[in-house]
Every structure is written in structure tokens, then in C-alpha cells.
Amino acid sequence: MTRAALAAKAPEERRERIMLATIAVVRERGFAGTRVADIALEAGTSQGLVLYHFGSLAGALAACLTMLEDEFYDDFAQHLAAENGPVERLRFMAELAAGRGAAVGNWGLWLELWARALRDPDSRAVRESQDRRWRTVLRRVVDEGVADGSFSPSSAAKSVLRLAALMDGLAVQLALNEPGMTTRKFTELWWDSAVLELGITEPAKRGKTPR
Amino acid sequence: MTRAALAAKAPEERRERIMLATIAVVRERGFAGTRVADIALEAGTSQGLVLYHFGSLAGALAACLTMLEDEFYDDFAQHLAAENGPVERLRFMAELAAGRGAAVGNWGLWLELWARALRDPDSRAVRESQDRRWRTVLRRVVDEGVADGSFSPSSAAKSVLRLAALMDGLAVQLALNEPGMTTRKFTELWWDSAVLELGITEPAKRGKTPR
DNA sequence: GCGTATCCTGAACGATGGTTCAATATGCGC
DNA sequence: GCGCATATTGAACCATCGTTCAGGATACGC
């Protein structure tokens, strides 16, 4: 099996490996610093193959973008569904955004994506879609909380906008590891804001608030 | 005077012109897309001169960064001092950040700066200093308000952190002109948050909140 | 077994763009 | 006016990639 079997499922697997390599390199060097040669090296293939599969460096980067997007979202949606009520869900979102699960190490990528979105339509589309997804979920959780009486925002729409924006803003500090900003502080600050915005009374049960 | 005088003060003036050109080009093309040739063209000089004055493209970009920083801050501090009380000052900050004065067209640059700061120490330093300045001023205004009874935050430090972060987050949307995000909405959303955070009772007098 | 389509490689090509440099101009003290 | 220091230029240089390409290997239908 060894040689033959490996080669057999190679094409698709190879393609995948290149995409993963692309993400890895972009994480390390950033979009601007990513070269075809780096990707090939990381993936253990030739430069030619990268171009063969994705047509151009830009193509590879684009593929990596959409992959990232889906990866993050799938992971997230799955875990969110496991939570019980709106308060727990909200708490989960706060913790996830701060750096649990698939978000780990991704904020840096988002920062780059934002900058890129200023000029590159593909990046803009990905960023927009990602953002919309996130806000939609947040909105749903808030509505759920309003329905069952846990939340009482003066305006759900505005609260969602602000809470989403606050996350982005806190994320900048986290990504640039501003002295004093930590995962815990991120969660705490955001959660306090959510309490204020939504008038949450019931304390969150999930996660170790302590310390 | 014409020819001679112009040439006389030329060196310094030329240098300045190159810096301004650099800012202009960076605004238009972004950091990554800025070439020495673009700067030279915009400044009406040769590529050689750009390198002569700043040593390298990176040097020119760095110079433009610090210039930007000072430019923004000076303009800002001057206007802020003109406002009367803490509520007015806060309101002024909300409006300025949303796009008045020197901030116009700068949010895109900030986004780029954040991304750059992930890897470039110079950019990181500028961003950090800029951020600290802004938060310091915000803190001062808040303290002032606490002192004269206009504000009553549960924690001044946390409120300042959150309000500053919220601005950055809203700025992302504004810079990428997310459909639905406008200068007015920016101000409105942020101001509502400030009211909530600081427990402001007195309505803001400044600025045309109306339509 | 044979031919064809898919995969894959490594080297070479070519464009782009930062940097160097020799030559020239300009202002300025003497 | 003479020279020296500072500015300024434009062209040439050269490193760095992205991309192309001609050639092989591999799988697969017939």
C-alpha cells in the first residue's frame, strides 16, 4: 500500500495540503509577506504545483481565505448549538472571540483582512460575509434572550452593532498584545458591556469568571 | 526672488514635499502598494532624492507615519481645548473620530497601521503611542466629568477602555464603508454607549444631532 | 500493453521596483 | 571668482519573485 496508496489519493490531498500550508504561512508572515516559494516549501511540493492548482499566488490566497472562513464558522456553529440558553450562548461567544477554539491566532489574520479589504474585493467580500454571519448569530441569541426574558435591551439592533464592534476593537488590542490586554480581560470587558447593554440580571454560569 | 528664493529654501521644503507626497500615495495605494516611483512622481522630484533624504523606502514610510501622528494629535488637542465642559469635550471626540477634521480619510490608514504593527516594530510603536494618547485624553475628560458630577461610571478605567475599543471597532465598519454605517451613525452609536457607560444625564449641546 | 489525460517538477524567463552611483547643479563662505 | 558641501538627477544595476514551459511520471480506460 505504502507508496502506491499514498500516490493514489494524492491529487486532492495534495491540494488540501497546499491550502493548509498557505494558511500557515500567511499566519506567520502575513499576506504581503507570503511567497509562492514559502507555500511550496511548507507544503513539501514544488512551486509549480501551487500554480497548477490555484492558477496564481492570488488564487491560492483567495482559496485560503474562504477556507478560513468556513473553518471558523463551522467550528463555531457546532459548539454554539451545544449551549443551553441565551445567556450561556452569549457567554460562549465572548469566550470564543477572546481566543478559544478556532479563533486562536486568527485575530491577526482578521486585522490583515480588514486592511486588505480596503483594496481587494475578494477580501472585502470575505470580511463582509464573516461579519454578517457573526452579527446574525449574535442577533439571534439576543432575540432569544429577549423572548425568554433574560435580556431587555433598549434597542436590540443597536446593541448588536455595538457589541460586535466592541469585539473588533478589543481584538485589535489583543492581536497586538497591548500590554494589559489578555484573553481574560477581553472576555471580562466585553461581558460587562453586554450586561450593561442587554440588562442581563442572571449571572453567567459558564466559564471560570473567577480571579 | 522667484527662482533664487524658491531654490534657496528648497532643501527643507523639498523634503517636506516628499513627506506629504508619501502620505498622499499611502492614502491612495496603501502601504504595500506604495513605490518610490509613485512618491517621486507625486512630489515632482526624482526617485534618487527620495532615497537621498530618507535612506530607503521604509525610511520614507516611517517618516510619514510619525508626521501623520503628530499632525492628527496637534490638530485634535487644539480643538479639544476650545470646548467648555466634559460633556461637550466627549461629544467633540465622538464627532472628531467619526470623521471631522484631521481624522477624515485616516481610518483606512489606521487599519493598515494595525496590520503592519503585527510585524513592523516602527508601526507598532506609532500605533501604540497614538492609542495611548487618545485613551489618556479620554480618561482625562472622563475624570473631569466625574469631578464635576456629569459622569458616574462604575469604573472609569474600564469605561475608557471600552469606549476607546468601541471606536476602533466602529471605525472598521466606517473605513470599509459597510452598508449602513455612516459618520452620523458612528457618532450616534458611540454616544449612546458613552451615555450608558458614564451615566450621562445632561444632553450634549454641541453638534447637530438632528437630521 | 498503449495512449491519453491528469499531475508534478525544476529550471528558465521576465517584470517589477528598490537601491547604487557617477555626474551635475546649486548655494555659500572666503 | 574659487572651492567645498550639500542637493539633485537619471540611468544602470541587481535581487526578488511570480509565472511559463518543456519535459516526465502516474493512473486509467480500452
Sign of CA dihedral A191, A197, A200, A201: positive
Q: What does the angle CA B11 – CA B17 – CA B22 come to, to the nearest 5 degrees?
A: 130
What confidence score (pLDDT) does residue B41 get? Answer: 97
pLDDT exceeds 90 at position A193: yes
Q: Residue A104's pLDDT band (boundaries 50, 70, 90)? A: low
Q: Does B119 touch chain A (CB under 8 A)?
A: yes
A142-162: average pLDDT? 97
CB contact set of B3 (below 8 Å; sequence gap of 6+): none
User: Going from the N-terminus, what domains does chain A have, and what CATH number goes with each?
Assistant: 1-55 (1.10.10.60), 63-211 (1.10.357.10)
pLDDT exceeds 90 at position A74: no
Q: What is the pLDDT of residues A116-137, one digit of tens each?
A: 999 999 999 999 999 999 999 9
Q: Does B89 touch chain A (CB under 8 A)?
A: no
Chain A closest-CA separation from residue B181 CA (Å): 10
Place of cell 438632528: B210
Q: Which of residues 9-48 of A touch strand C (CB under 7 A)?
A: 10-11, 14-15, 45-48
Q: Residue B7's pLDDT band (boundaries 50, 70, 90)? A: very low
Ranking A42-56, B67-81, B179-193 by mean pLDDT, the lowest is B67-81
Angle, helices B57-82/B47-54, rounded to nearest 10 degrees: 70
Chain B closest-CA separation from residue A2 CA (Å): 42
**What percentage of chain A reaches a pLDDT higher than 70?**
88
Rounded mean pLDDT of chain A? 88
pLDDT exceeds 90 at position B127: yes
B133-154: average pLDDT? 96
A57 closest-nt by C1' vs CA: D18
Is nucleic acid strand C under 7 Å from B7's C-beta? Answer: yes
Residues in chain B closer than 8 A to A172 (CB atoms): 114, 165, 168-169
Q: Name the residue with higher pLDDT: B71 or A64.
A: A64
Place of cell 511550496: A40
Q: What is the pLDDT of residues A196-208, one digit of tens each?
A: 999 997 655 554 4
For B204, which DSSP code?
P
**What percentage of chain B reaches a pLDDT higher than 70?**
89
Sign of CA dihedral A196, A197, A203, A206: negative
**Per-residue cell: A194:** 453586554
What confidence score (pLDDT) does residue A12 get? Answer: 83
What confidence score (pLDDT) does residue B104 get? Answer: 55
Residues in chain A closer than 8 A to B197 (CB atoms): 196
